[in-house]
Amino acid sequence: MKDGFQREGDLQDLASYPGWLQEMIAETGDARAQVVRHPVFSDMRDAKLSARQFAAFLVNGWPVVEQFPQYMAMNLLKLRDAHSRGEAMARRYLTRNIRVEQNHADHWLAWCAAHDVSKDKLAKNDGPSLAYALSHWCWKSSSADPLAASMAATNYAIEGVTGEWSALVCSRDDYEMSLPEAIRKRTIRWLKLHAHYDDAHPWEALDIIATLLGNAPRTDEIAGVRNSILKSFEYFKISLDCCL
């Protein structure tokens, strides 16, 4: 029987979570920072990305954006225990957010259009093979890994770091003001949504992970979650490197 966890403190306070989870977040912090501090995002913020680099970013990132609702749908299929509070939380979270992520894909297409990246170009997936390692990893994790590990890979790691880098890009208005006024609002909608409105999603995923695994998970369960987070950050950085 697992040593059950039920959060009592604030959702977005790391101290509200079990010690093992706090340690794991600290251990993966450097890998997370390598994504957030990547030159792609600082150059995007400062409106210094070249047209080719921006197009590469949009093309390379599209598979993950397009497939994100499918990642969550595959995780829904893993729910088996009607008496598990963690699985009940996961069911509510995943079903609520699948439609949200589909809308985000539509906003990404509008962003692409502003940079002359057509749907046909997105469908060709003609970037370097390494650029798509992140989407392959997310698909593998969502289809085959335990629920806690796969939600850590996608809903915690990818969504969480995306909130940070999008907030960095939006921390100045250089990029926004570089866009034609007529299309400015719809072009940056994806960025604004992730910078300001998605803050709770990764924390909700963390709460689910802690509830699924409890206060004292097995060593292999902790390792599975940690490795999932690290791989997501590693493959994300590789994809960004390919843009440059």
Mean pLDDT of the chain: 94
Q: Is the pLDDT of residue 119 over 50?
A: yes
Give residue 215's identity as a one-letter amino acid code.
Answer: N
pLDDT (0 to 100) of residue 1: 42
CB-based contacts of 185: which residues, under 8 Å, 6+ apart? Answer: none
pLDDT at site 142:
98
- DSSP letters for 19-86: HHHHHHHHHTHHHHHHHHT-HHHHHHHTT---HHHHHHHHHHHHHHHHHHHHHHHHHHTT---TT-HH
SS3 content of the chain, % helix, strand, coil (to 5): 75, 0, 25
- Residue among 200, 214, 231 nearest 19 (CA): 214
Predicted local distance difference test score (pLDDT) of residue 196: 76
pLDDT at 118 over 90: yes
Fold of 17-117+126-243: Heme Oxygenase; Chain A (1.20.910)
Mean pLDDT, range 61-66, rounded to an integer: 96
Map residue 17 onto helix, strand or coil. coil
pLDDT number for residue 161 = 96
**Mean pLDDT within 214-241:** 97
Predicted local confidence at residue 33, as pLDDT: 97
Least confident residue range of 25-34, 39-48, 54-63, 117-126:
117-126
Model confidence at 101, pLDDT cuts 50, 70, 90, reads confident
Average pLDDT over residues 111-129: 92
Domain boundaries of the chain, sorted by first residue: 17-117+126-243
Q: What is the pLDDT of residues 140-181, one digit of tens each?
A: 999 999 999 999 999 999 999 999 999 999 999 999 999 999
